[in-house]
Every structure is written in C-alpha cells, then in structure tokens.
Structure 1
Amino acid sequence: MQVKALMTAFAALPLASAWAQQTLPPVTVSDERNTANAFEWNAETIRALRERHRQTASLLTELPGVSMLAGGTISTLPVVRGLADERLRVTIDGADLTATCPNHMNTPLSYIAPTSIEQLTLYPSVTPVSVGGDAIGGAVVVERRKAPFASDSTPVRGGEAGATYRSNGNGKAADFAAWYGTETFAAQYQGSFAESDNLRAGGPFKNYRFTGRAGHTLDLDEIGSTAYQVRNHAIDFGWRSGEHEVRAEVGLQQQPYQLYPNQRMDLLDNEEKRAALTYRGRFASGELEARLYHETVDHFMDFGADKRYWYGMASGGPTAVDGSPCAPLGPTCAAGMPMYASSTTNGAKVKATIALDTASLVRMGGEWNRYTLDDWWPPSGGGMWPNTFWNIRNGKRERTALFAEWERAITPTWRTTLGARIERVTTDADPVAGYANTNGVAPNFNYQLRDSTAFNASDRSRGDTLWNLVWSNSWQLASAWRAGLDLAHQSRAPSLYERYPWSTWQMAALMNNFVGDGNGYIGNLDLKPEKAYTAAARLAWQANNDGWRVEWRPYLTVVEDYIDAVQWDATANAPRATPVTNRFVVLKYVNQRAKLYGHELTLRGPLARNGWGAWAFAATLACSRGSNTETGDNLYGVMPRNVKLTLDQTRGQWQQRFIVEAVERKSRTNRMRNEIPTAGYALLHWQGSLTLSNAVTWHFGIDNVFDRSYAYPLGGAYVGQGTTMTNPLPPNVPQWGTPVPGPGRTIWTGLRVRF
C-alpha cells in the first residue's frame, strides 16, 4: 500500500513523464543529432556512476524506462520500454555483436567493464538509420575510452587504477589503465578483474538447502548460482596525420565461470577475442568513417557447484539424493551435461557525413555483418548417449545494409531528420542429429529421430528484406519549452536461436532459453521478421535560470509478426490444446501481434544552497504496458510501474546521494509462460564520494540499506540449485513459483587513483 501511495502521489504531479537526472553533473541530451529522444552520457557522467555498478548493462537503469531482464550477475539484458535483447541494437565501438549461447550468457554488454567506457548513448524506441537496423526497440551505443593524442609537442602520459569491495558475495574488483600519446601516435592498455561468491537475499526465500552434491548445502537466504569471475584485457593504438586518424584495437575477455540462478545450466568457461580497425577523416565537405571488426567466442556450459552433477541410474536404482556418483558409468548414468558453442563475427561499416549547406547535411553508408555459430552437446551418459547432439550446426546469419539520412534545420526552432535503410538478412544451418537416432521408448519418448528427420528434410535457408523508415523532429517552442517527435517503421529478422533449435524433447528445449523463465523453447523455421510502427514524443520545460526541469515522454509501438510463443505438445507435435498453469512448460516461437505503450515523467532541479552545501532533487516515474493483441495475454518481461527519487548533496570535495526506489506489484503476467507475479517493494540506497586529492577519490555506499527481502519483477524463475534438469522438479528442490530474489544489504567501497 505504501508503494501504491507513493506512486499515486507522484503521478499527480503536473505534466507527465520524462527523465530524472540520476547523476551529477547533468547528462547531455543529444537533441542536435539524429533524434530528439536520445540520452547521451559523457566520460564525466559515467565516472560518477560506474563505481556502484558491477556491470555495464546495469548502468542503463539510471535512465527512465530502462530495466534489467536478469540473468547472470554480470550478463543481464537491458529492457527498454518492454523490449529487450536482440530487439535492441547494441554496438560496442561500432561492432554489432551477438550472444553465442542458447541462454544468452555472453551478452554484448558483458564484454566491456564499466570502467572502460568513454561514452554511452541510448536511443529509446527508435534507432536512427545511420546508427543501426535489424532492431525494433531502440539502440545502445557504447564507446570505449581511447588512447589520447597530445595537443602539442609535449607527450601526454597517464593512467588510473581502481579497486572495489562489496560485502554481499565478498565481491572484489580491480582495474588498471595506462596511456601514452604524441601528436601523431597514441597507445593504451586497459585491464580489469572481478569476482564474487553467491549473493544473499534480504531474508530466507526458500525452505530447503539441498544442492544435489554430497556435503554441499546453501543457507536459506543464499541465492544459488550467482557467483562469477571475469578478466578483461585490451590494447589500442592510434595514428594521426592532420585531419586523418587510424585506430587499431585487440581485446580478450575470459570468464572462468558465471553461474546463473534462473537457468538450468551455468557458464563454466567463456573466451572472447576481438580485433578492430577504424579510420576517421575530415574533408572540406564532411567526414568519412570506416570500421572493420572481427570476434571469436568459445563458450562452455555445464552444472556449476550449486547444481546436481550426476544424473541417471545407479547399480541398485536411482541416484541417491545426496548426488552420489552413479555406477556403472556409461549409458545409464550421466556425468553432467557438457554444452559447447563457438562463433565467429566479421563486420564492416562505412559512413559518410556530407554538409549540403550551413543548415543541412546527409549521412549515407553501408554495413556488412556475418555471424557463424556451432552449438553442440557431447554425450555424457544416461539419456545423452552415444552421439553428439547438434543444437545448431554451421549456423549462418549474414546482414547487408544501405542507408541514407537527411538532417536539416528547417527554421531556427525546428530541426528534422528523415532516414531510410534497407537491409537483407539471410540465415541457414546444416543438418543436425540427436544423441541417438531413436524416438526413445515408452513412456519416455523424446522424439529425437522424428524431429531431426523433419528438420533435415526442410529447406533451412531463409532470406528477409528489412525496411526502416525514420522521421525525427525537435522544436524549440519557446524559451523554456522544447518538444520532440519520432515516427518510425522498423523491422528485425529472427535470430539463429529463434529459428533453428529443433528438438521438442523437454530436456533439449530447456537448454534453449534466454529470458530466464525456467521454460524450454523450440525454434521455428517459418518465423517472419518483426515489423514495428512507433511514435515516441517528448515535451520538456526548463527554467530559464537552468534550474528546475520537467519532461514527459509518451510512446506507442505496434508490432506485426511479433515473435512470441505458444505451449507445445511434443507427442502431438502441435500447440497444446489446453495450456497448463503453475508449472514450467515447453514453448515454440510463433509470430503474433503486439502493442507496447507507456510514458516516463521526470522532475529534477536544485533545492537549496546552505551551510551544508548544494542540494538537488530528482524524480522519475516510468509506466510500461505490453499486450499480445492476438491472444489478449500480457507480454513477458514488462516492468511494472516504478518510481525513483534521489536527493543529492555536494559540499566541497564531498558528494552523497540518497535513492528511494519503489516498484509496484507485478500482477500483469504472461499466462502462456506462467510468468511469476511479484510483490511491490521500496528500497533505500545511499552512495557517496570524497575527493582526497587531485589524484585520489574514495567511493562508498550501501545498497538496500534496510536489508529488505524482495523479488525483482524481471528476475525470472529461481532454478539456482539442486536437480535443475527434472521438470517438474522434485519436492526438495526449486519449484515453479519461486522468483529470483533481489540482493540484500550490500556495503561497498572503492578507491580510485589517477596518475
């Protein structure tokens, strides 16, 4: 009731919806390029935020309308106005990267640490055609910090190092960077390390300690499978001559493990290698930019320490509940469930910006991206015997695009951008095979032979033509009033993991899930591209003295051929006649229709200046709704109404912030997936910093100050411990209906040194 009362009071404020400034100094809103609706953070803003966040994706939650579809602790997926994952165009230094995992455990944003970011831009709902395509929900553009050039004959050299400790999970992180630059040459190294044990909730959220491994139990408040370790290394070089610049970068990320509380498997090894070459040149009539990039990913999954490793029959019957090894090994007993995925991404981009006159310009260019994927599961015994299971074999997804964008200041108070983009996306995959060329035996039919035969006999090659049309406008209505409007038709082709997973077998389907709902998913060769029609607006009032600001951002998106899912009956190989409830299920992707709408309201400004320093206040209300207009169901993973209030104090070298975060009960759930409802909650966070000298800053804070027990609405289903590969699950391990809890009180501190 307190949460509802707080939201009702805030909703009654004049105007309705926009972005509350969540950091000092103020964020720059990029009205002058591409769209009236973009948020842009510079290096100074990111430095003020990054110490509190374990991962890059969670930085975006400082913005209105952005939430997280929880996964691993460092691989969550940003949700922008109800759309997430591959519905967003995510680029890092211009590279379009793709998750190489049937659970999307290695998301693009997980490959860059918050301490390495120089600039971050969010385009909510609408992506300018010059920024990217093949997306319907907006774009996230991240640029790493680059080696600096010297402005004169005196070389620049410097660096920084930081270390952070978090009490919850015994989390430790460290980073180091050093650079050197002359007028014509620059070089830099960046490295980071982070690890954590399991997190703890604000109180007990389960009534069992069982993990399925002999002698290993978890406390009732311990969130199983939330531990991780990650290492990042990157070296970049730059060469400059006059108005021309070339940069080269190579990078390596290693994840020895990242455990998942809402997936049945865990990431136990992941290695990403990347290289990129960029050219930028300025000419009399404009600019030219070209990029080449290459990435390889080698990924391995199996059961982590909190999940049962041995499955199958022992010499006298079922394996003991303490997880004792089966005997004899071989066809009757499974030693874990090893799963491998390997991918290669190659891409190229060229973009020219040409000034037509003092009031207008044109951006035009082309892109090419080729992604190849193998996803295979070696035999380990039990029902996974004797051959290798090929989930996707030699999968290919290739995109080729051309775009043109015209931008003009029509009048001193009206700026417009009109863009068009055409994209051709082709996908294909080779024949597959199951563990065995049989359908199983009664009553445990698995239909591996039936499903693989049908898949292999099908024409697996697909080609889709995508059109994006975007018209963006911004107006200076009066000295204190500004407005913006984006109208767009955007489209996205299905991913390899939406089209090509072929098995209706429950065990195999459970491995294909990138939303963390505990269900299994089957691909669909006949999926069509999603086509979205979006209107996104903005109305802002700014006091003439740069004081208070109010902003309202409403939006509406209608999607034809939205990729949703239906419950699937493996025996009939057809949609389930009567959907089941209150349990985990197997679903198949299908095209349907959807509508998403909502708004964000922001209020921010200075409160007072007194002997205690300068005080400022900010508030954000975000409201999103999503519905399947074909079935009447709610869309999965849409954040309920939420409010964030912040109070900032700055006095000399001291800064602190109090944050109240309130979220309404999640009652609008997706019935087809049996999405778990969650209760409303309110949390208090505190963070601060003290600049000890020009080179040293101390950061500190407490998240969830009162150690509240709560479930994050988009955290998914808890399957973080025990016998996770049985569905329905035994009574002494996680059942449907337990959401992943949010972390309890976390005291954190960090020190940053610049040299």
Structure 2
Amino acid sequence: MKKRLSPLALMILTGLASAPLYAVHEHDDEMLDRVTVTAASVPTVDSTTLSENDISSQRAYKSDTAAFLNDLAGMSMYSGGGVSGLPFMRGFADDRLRIKVDGMDLISACANHMNPPLSYLAPSRVSEIQVYSGIAPVSLGGDSIGGTIIAKSKQPEFADEGQTLSKGEIGSYYRSNGDARGGHLSTTLASEDFSITYTGSTAKANNYNAGGNFKQAGNAATDGRSLDADEVGSSAYESRNHAIDMAYKLDNHQLQLKFAHQDIPFQGWPNQRMDMTENRSNQINLIYNGMFDWGSLETSLYREKTHHKMQFGEDKQFLYGSGMMIANGMPMETEGDNRGLTLKAEINANNRDLFRIGTELQRYRLDDFWEASGGMMMAPNTFLNINNGERDRYGVFAEWEAAWNSQWTTVAGVRHETVKMNADDVQGYNAMYQAATDAFNASDRDITDHNIDATLLARFKPAATHDYEFGYAQKTRSPNLYERFAWSTHGMAMRMVNLVGDGNGYVGNVDLDPEIAHTLSFTANFHDAKQHDWHVSLTPYISYVDDFIDAERCSTGGGACTAANLTSENDFIYLQYQNVSAKLYGMDVSGFKTLYQSEKWGQITGTATLSYVRGKNRDTGDDLYNIMPLNSTLSLEHSKNGWRNNIEWVLVAGKDKVNNERNEIETAGYGLVNLRTSYEWKQARVDFGMENVFDRLYSHPLSGAYVGQGATMNTSVPWGVTVPGMGRSVYAGLTLKF
C-alpha cells in the first residue's frame, strides 16, 4: 500500500534536482515510485536519493557499493580493498557517519576496518541509497557526528490479485584492468500476498595497474613474487554474496524476513600491512511495517555474526626470522556478534503536525585475537587484542515536523543514547608485552557515556523558482572499541591497528571522551519552475567538534613510544588516540542545464559538482588527516530513448594541506576523462566504456600510504609513496531480465 508523503517529504521530492546526476529523468512517474515507501517517511534538508536506475547504470564499472556515492557533491571514498571502501562526507568518514543497511546498524569487526557496513550489501542487491549530507534528523539514528547513509536492498514485489509473479535478472561484466569480472543472478516468485527473492553475486579481480610506473620493479619480500613497476600490490580480491528475502503482506501490514551470507576468501589491501584472507558474515533481519489510522509503525529485529581473518597475501612477506625462530606469518582473527532492535512510530496528529518517536537497542561483542606463529616476537601465547569487547547502545528519540503553511516547514528533534563499553583482561605473545598488559588490565574499562543529539531544521519556499534550507545540529559519537581498548605499545602490534590506511601504528586510550559536533548548514536552490531545464544548489556548512578523536605521537608507555618518535619526519610513526578541538567547514555546489533537446536527436544535458572542505585542529593549528581537497566533476550526457552517452571530466586539486602529526603524504592534482555508453531495452541492457581514457598516473587524495608489498611487518617499508589510482580500463556489461 502506498504511504502518504509528509509535507516536507513532498517538498524534498520537488527539490531532488540538487543532485543533478541522479535527479534528472524523463520519466517523472519513476521518480515518484521510488520515494513511495511502506515505512515511515523521514524529512531532512540537503538530501539526495540514488534510485535503482541510478545505481544499475554504474554496476558495469563499479564493484564497491560505497563507490556509487563518489559522484555526489561533498562525497568521496577512503580506498582500501576492491569491494570495501569507506564513504567520506564533508570531512567525516567511517564511524563518524551513521550508515544503515536495511535498517541494521552494522559495525566493522576488524582492527583495520576492512569490513565496513556498505561492503555487506552487494552492488547487484542495492535498490536505493539515501544520502543525508548535512543535518540528519534524530529519527535516522545516533552515535555519529556526520551525515547519514541509508542503503536498502530491493523491496518485495507481489502479484496482482489472483495472479502469480515470476521474474528474474542475470548480468555480468568484464573490465580490462586487473582482469576484473563478475556476475549476478536474482529471481522472484510471488503471489498477491507472499514473495520470495534470491539474489546472488560474485566479483573477482587480479592486481590492477596504475597509469605509469610509481615504484621500482621487483619485491622487497624475500619470499614474495616479483611485481612490475606499475602493478599495485595487494589490490586483488574475490567476493561472493547470497541473500534470500521473504515477505508477507496483509492489508496495510507487511512482514519481511531477510537472510544474507557473505564469503570473501581474499581481499588484498594496498594501504594496510595485512590482507583479508577470509570474511564470513551471516545476517538475519526481521522487519515489520504497518499502516494505521493514526500513522505508521516500523520495527526491525536483526543479528549479524562475522568471522574475519587477516594474514600476509602473496605480495607481502610471509616468513620472518631464521633457523628455528621462523614466524609463519601473523594470523589475526576477529569474531563479531551484533544484535539490534529498532522501533519507530509516525503519528499524524493533524494536517499540520507529524510526530515521530522511537527507540533503538544494540548489543555488540567483539573478540580480536592473534594466534602464536613462532619466532621470538609471536610466541608462545595467543595475543588478545580485544578480549570480549562490549559496546551496547540504548537510544530513544522524539521528533516534531510541522507544515506551518505552503512556504514554511520545520523539523525539531531530540535524542538520548546511553553507550556502555567494557573489555576483559588481555595478554601479549610473551614477556615483552607484560608492562603494557599489566597497565591495561589494571585500568578501569567499565565506561558509560550519556549522549545527547538535537536538531532543528527548516525549509522556506517563497516561490516556485527558489527555496532555502537551513538547520543546526548537536550530534555525539562515543569511541569505538579499538579507539578505547587497543592496548599494546609494541611497534609491531601498533602497526596492525590502523583504521585509516596511513601506514602508521596506533594505540587506544581508555580515557577518551565522546565527540560532540555542533553543525550549521544552509542550502539555496535556484531552478526553473518545473525543475526540468536548469538547477543550481549551493550549500555552505561549518562544524565545531569538541573532543574530536584525533591522534598524537606517543613518547611514553614503552615499546615504540619513544622520545625519537616525537621528532621523526618522512617516516612512519606511532600515535595514541587523543581528544582535541576541531573545526571543519566548506561548500558544495551542484547544478545542471539542458543544453539541447529535439525529438530527432534527443537531449543533451550538462551537469557539474564542486566541493571544498577544510579541517583544522584548533588546539595545535595542524590540518586534520585525510581531508579531500577542492574537486569537481563535469559531465555531458546525450540521451535518446534507451540510449545514453556520457563524457565525464574529474578534476582534483593537489593535497598540500596535510596532517603533520601523522607525517601525511601530499598528493598532486590531476584530471581524468571517462567515456560511457549504454543502451537499454525492455528486457536487456548493454554497457560499454573506458575509465581514465588517457591512462593518467595519479593518486587519489584519500588513497593512503602504499604498503602493498614487501616485508610489511618491518619498519623498512618505503615512506612517501601513496596508493595510485587505476590506469586505463575498458569495460563491458550485459544485463538480461526474464
């Protein structure tokens, strides 16, 4: 049953052209269908929705769900494994963003965050991604200080009365660079009140080649294979995903049961000293949506179990030591158990007022242990990095949306979350770790945070050709388990705990306070009355963050935390997480213009995005780490019936404002040209294209340090090399529906 759209949601629907690459379609009825939902609608300023059509057009040349967001203003991605990137949004990334997958708050169970939330939703299974870049309402979730990303799998389909529905889809792709290939299959069988869908996919690739030589040929690993000078080590991957979705509906009520299984037998990591050698995840998610005379109710009960392994891949040295003291790699295992319950109600009080209330509960357990592998350093005990780590959240919220008149709509909300964390005693491999072990085991680790979020949003639409959105938010995030409880100051152990891919080593801090961000955002939209011909959107924003979790070089505590570490330059160093005061500010600009249109030749549309963000440590004056420099994307698209042709120009300025504390590596500016064409029939689609047409050698500013080959456990890995982007790649894709 179709859900009534709230007044603000209706206005947002008319303003979705603020994301020009995805909001401009010839078929307005398709746009209306994708925002009609069975769950409670959620308003916001400054939001963008990627529909299934938007996503399906990118599957032939993207294997990472997070990469679908790259073309949006203010968005980018921390690169890592081939299917496991971390979204970057206006200076915030990873745990600082609230990312929901089918209503589940997934958590990365890895000391290097190799299994982020979006990596569990295969590209072929995604039907919609909602991106709240600015101030997200409290009803969308807490425990974050940046924006919100809500990814959804395909919604259930039912047959007409008295009929049976059977349908399916099969697709495949090939990309020349890295010999990347993959495919997917989905099939649905449904009656008028019951539906079952299976979706399966696989993706596999070898190491990719950069657009030129960025290092010497060979390999510093004594037992590793030789790599060409342009080959990016540890960039190969293989991933397999399966899901079964069942749904039953009765009048205005719908019950869904979703099962998902992921198996990644290998995923290399060019900016981490370890590779993923296994990631198995099982998810079960029970969702209820109901429509009543007073409004709607949505509940979700889910559980996810993850078994994650890391080890050195074939491009990294496996054996360390000599004689009887050889260490057979460094096995690392993580087991995560994530359980959650959400309950949300939307109450239609009257024609003006809409209320949302709800609660969220989450219970998370993590064990991170490294079995002894031999040698002097990694024996005889099992290293307990996180032992029975606990991170539980209990949240409640209330939100009021009011449509005061045809011009003004406001949304106000408040949220309280209790975050409880703890961890059991730990142990090191041997006596070398004893001092740090004793210090951690003697610490008070039973920590409870009481966090408050508050938002106030407004939209003013004085005329059909322009509207304005503005708001304020206080948002709070508690540290994750690694930021608080990673305990060893031994250099080798610190290098294995790294959430950002900079090659440095990190140790946690049990005394960390939660981050509290105060954000102001304003958006001005200008467009033609029908929003078909042109549109320009400008969004300046600023965030002040108290107790921002940054990192400072350590000099006490033994191990790698020495006095020399404080002054080391042009080298990898060792840091401890610390609270500081931070400021982030910037602006996003986007727009489109219909340049030509005729019945004979079709339509030509130009689109553009421009993004700038700056992050500063207010205590030291240093720049924050991994901030995307000024960047722009220009696109010219021709469309006629089912045919689409696109030429895209990606421009990125050099990154010279870097974090000195981390010895962050600068990157040069660059420009890339991409060509794409596709044709879609009723039951088939073909895609062809070429990425990085001129085979440009470049490094993405958020790519991190290159530690993809050699003896990565040692300190001899060359500093100063960033992970280069992919060189020229020709791709082809085919999708058939039946």
Letter in 2 for 1:583: D
- Confirm whether residue 499 of structure 1 aligns to residue 484 of structure 2: yes
Tell me how far apart the structure 1 counterparts of residues 134 and 568 of structure 2 sit (CA, whole Å).
34
Cα distance change on mapping 1:37 and 1:357 into 2, 3 Å: same
Letter in 2 for 1:536: S
- Confirm whether residue 481 of structure 1 aligns to residue 470 of structure 2: no
2:418 to 405, 415, 424: 424
Letter in 1 for 2:76: S
Tell me how far apart the structure 2 counterparts of residues 132 and 93 of structure 1 sit (CA, whole Å).
13
Matches within 5 A, 1:646-661: 646-661=635-650
The equivalent residue for 1:354 is: 347
Cα distance change on mapping 1:215 and 1:124 into 2, 3 Å: closer
1:434 to 428, 432, 438: 428
Which deviations, in whole Å up to 9, do the C-alpha atoms of 1:474-505 show, x marking residues without a partner?
11121201110121000000000110000011
Tell me how far apart the structure 2 counterparts of residues 81 and 116 of structure 1 sit (CA, whole Å).
27
The equivalent residue for 1:607 is: 595
Tell me how far apart the structure 1 counterparts of residues 639 and 243 of structure 2 sit (CA, whole Å).
35
The offset of 1:30, in angstroms, is 8.2
Tell me how far apart the structure 2 counterparts of residues 288 and 24 of structure 1 sit (CA, whole Å).
32
Tell me how far apart the structure 1 counterparts of residues 42 and 441 of structure 2 sit (CA, whole Å).
48
- Confirm whether residue 514 of structure 1 aligns to residue 495 of structure 2: no
Which deviations, in whole Å up to 9, do the C-alpha atoms of 1:112-140 show, x marking residues without a partner?
11111111101113221111000001111
Tell me how far apart the structure 2 counterparts of residues 579 and 501 of structure 1 sit (CA, whole Å).
24
SS at structure 2 position matched to 1:635: coil
Give the alignment's Cα RMSD to 1 decimal. Answer: 1.7
Which deviations, in whole Å up to 9, do the C-alpha atoms of 1:288-340 show, x marking residues without a partner?
1111000000011000010000001x2xxxxxxxxxxxx33xxx211100000
Bigger Cα displacement from structure 2, 578-587 vs 231-240: 578-587
SS at structure 2 position matched to 1:51: coil
- Confirm whether residue 722 of structure 1 aligns to residue 710 of structure 2: yes
Tell me how far apart the structure 1 counterparts of residues 402 and 23 of structure 2 sit (CA, whole Å).
32
Report if the CA contact (8 A) 2:706-2:722 is conserved: yes
SS at structure 2 position matched to 1:50: coil
1:216 to 209, 212, 225: 225
Report if the CA contact (8 A) 2:385-2:487 is conserved: yes
Tell me how far apart the structure 2 counterparts of residues 34 and 580 of structure 1 sit (CA, whole Å).
49
The offset of 1:579, in angstroms, is 3.2
* TM-score between the two structures when normalised by the length of structure 1: 0.92
The equivalent residue for 2:732 is: 749
The equivalent residue for 1:632 is: 621
Report if the CA contact (8 A) 2:18-2:48 is conserved: no
The equivalent residue for 1:703 is: 691
2:163 to 154, 171, 174: 154
1:139 to 138, 142, 148: 148
1:543 to 515, 525, 528: 528
Report if the CA contact (8 A) 1:18-1:599 is conserved: no
The equivalent residue for 1:443 is: none
The offset of 1:666, in angstroms, is 0.3
The offset of 1:48, in angstroms, is 2.5
The equivalent residue for 2:8 is: none
Tell me how far apart the structure 1 counterparts of residues 563 and 360 of structure 2 sit (CA, whole Å).
42
2:611 to 622, 626, 631: 622
Report if the CA contact (8 A) 2:125-2:154 is conserved: yes
Bigger Cα displacement from structure 2, 743-752 vs 566-575: 566-575
SS at structure 1 position matched to 2:254: strand
Tell me how far apart the structure 2 counterparts of residues 236 and 724 of structure 1 sit (CA, whole Å).
42
Number of matched pairs? 708
Cα distance change on mapping 1:171 and 1:23 into 2, 3 Å: farther
Cα distance change on mapping 1:701 and 1:119 into 2, 3 Å: same
Matches within 5 A, 1:290-439: 290-312=299-321, 314=322, 327-328=323-324, 332-382=325-375, 383-436=377-430, 438-439=431-432
The equivalent residue for 1:115 is: 124
1:598 to 570, 576, 586: 586
Bigger Cα displacement from structure 2, 539-548 vs 573-582: 573-582
Letter in 2 for 1:601: V
SS at structure 2 position matched to 1:451: helix
Tell me how far apart the structure 2 counterparts of residues 82 and 391 of structure 1 sit (CA, whole Å).
29
The equivalent residue for 1:88 is: 97
SS at structure 2 position matched to 1:62: coil
Matches within 5 A, 1:513-532: 513-532=498-517
SS at structure 1 position matched to 2:714: coil
- Confirm whether residue 173 of structure 1 aligns to residue 162 of structure 2: no
The equivalent residue for 2:7 is: none
Report if the CA contact (8 A) 1:579-1:672 is conserved: no
1:255 to 239, 242, 264: 264
SS at structure 2 position matched to 1:86: helix
The equivalent residue for 1:553 is: 539
The offset of 1:745, in angstroms, is 0.4
The offset of 1:213, in angstroms, is 4.7
1:239 to 225, 248, 251: 248
The equivalent residue for 1:582 is: 570
Tell me how far apart the structure 1 counterparts of residues 23 and 350 of structure 2 sit (CA, whole Å).
37
Tell me how far apart the structure 2 counterparts of residues 48 and 72 of structure 1 sit (CA, whole Å).
22
Tell me how far apart the structure 2 counterparts of residues 111 and 215 of structure 1 sit (CA, whole Å).
31
The offset of 1:638, in angstroms, is 0.6
Cα distance change on mapping 1:474 and 1:542 into 2, 3 Å: same
Cα distance change on mapping 1:117 and 1:397 into 2, 3 Å: same
The offset of 1:576, in angstroms, is 5.0
Tell me how far apart the structure 1 counterparts of residues 185 and 23 of structure 2 sit (CA, whole Å).
24
Report if the CA contact (8 A) 2:239-2:263 is conserved: yes
Which deviations, in whole Å up to 9, do the C-alpha atoms of 1:33-64 show, x marking residues without a partner?
42111111222222233333111000011210
* TM-score between the two structures when normalised by the length of structure 2: 0.94
Tell me how far apart the structure 2 counterparts of residues 533 and 650 of structure 1 sit (CA, whole Å).
43
Cα distance change on mapping 1:673 and 1:245 into 2, 3 Å: same
Tell me how far apart the structure 2 counterparts of residues 384 and 470 of structure 1 sit (CA, whole Å).
49
Report if the CA contact (8 A) 1:30-1:36 is conserved: no
SS at structure 2 position matched to 1:143: strand
Which deviations, in whole Å up to 9, do the C-alpha atoms of 1:162-189 show, x marking residues without a partner?
0000100000110000001112111000
Bigger Cα displacement from structure 2, 266-275 vs 46-55: 46-55
Tell me how far apart the structure 2 counterparts of residues 214 and 431 of structure 1 sit (CA, whole Å).
36
Report if the CA contact (8 A) 2:489-2:558 is conserved: no
Report if the CA contact (8 A) 1:567-1:579 is conserved: no
Letter in 1 for 2:190: G
The offset of 1:410, in angstroms, is 1.1
The runs of 5 or more residues in structure 2 that have no matched partner are 1-16
The equivalent residue for 1:318 is: none
Report if the CA contact (8 A) 2:436-2:557 is conserved: no
SS at structure 1 position matched to 2:711: coil
Report if the CA contact (8 A) 2:111-2:497 is conserved: yes
Which deviations, in whole Å up to 9, do the C-alpha atoms of 1:690-737 show, x marking residues without a partner?
12x32111011111000000011110000000111111x1xxxx4110
Tell me how far apart the structure 2 counterparts of residues 594 and 151 of structure 1 sit (CA, whole Å).
56
SS at structure 2 position matched to 1:452: helix
The runs of 5 or more residues in structure 1 that have no matched partner are 1-16, 315-326, 440-447
